[in-house]
Amino acid sequence: MAKKESFFKGVKSEMEKTSWPTKEELFKYTVIVVSTVIFFLVFFYALDLGITALKNLLFG
């Protein structure tokens, strides 16, 4: 039982050392991630349309 208590005390200690992002940083990083995902979604969708059109042009 002492090992569990020691483990959770260590976890608590490490969590207190962690530097969490501010709300502004979190919002900024979220916008960056969502924008990047949308960019790649559009890019690969357009690439897929282009490859499909090329395939249909070449092979009917």
pLDDT tens track for 38-58: 999 999 999 999 999 999 999
Write the CA distances from 55 to 29, 43, 44, 48, 49, integer angstroms. Answer: 39, 18, 16, 10, 10
The rounded distance, in Å, linking the Cα atoms of 16 and 5 is 17
The rounded distance, in Å, linking the Cα atoms of 24 and 55 is 46
Phi, psi of 55 (to 5 degrees): -60, -45
pLDDT tens track for 1-39: 788 899 999 999 999 999 999 999 999 999 999 999 999
* pTM assigned to the model: 0.68
